Amino acid sequence: NRVVDYAREKGAKAVHLTVNKHNAKAIRFYEKNGFKNMESKTFDIGNGYIMDDYIYQKNLN
């Protein structure tokens, strides 16, 4: 809520976050709190590690 409030104060139109595709508990929490799954991405973060995430967005209109 602090991040969303801060973003609104700064005039942002949306908040974005990434969540691991296998983190069902976090996904349920974000969806319950108004975030929508926008896309799926993989990120190479080096040393053989790949992040396999969903990108979520909450509009602040």
Q: Any long-range contacts for 23-29 (C-beta under 8 Å, 24+ apart)?
A: 27/54
pLDDT value of position 61: 80
The model's pTM: 0.86
Mean pLDDT in the chain? 96
Q: Which fold has domain 2-59?
A: Aminopeptidase (3.40.630)
pLDDT value of position 21: 96
Taking only the tens place, the pLDDT of each residue in 21-43 is 999 999 999 999 999 999 999 99
Q: Cα-flanking dihedrals φ and ψ of residue 6, to 5°? A: -60, -45
Where along the chain do its domains lie?
2-59
What CA–CA distance (Å, rounded) separates 37 from 58? 9
pLDDT value of position 6: 97
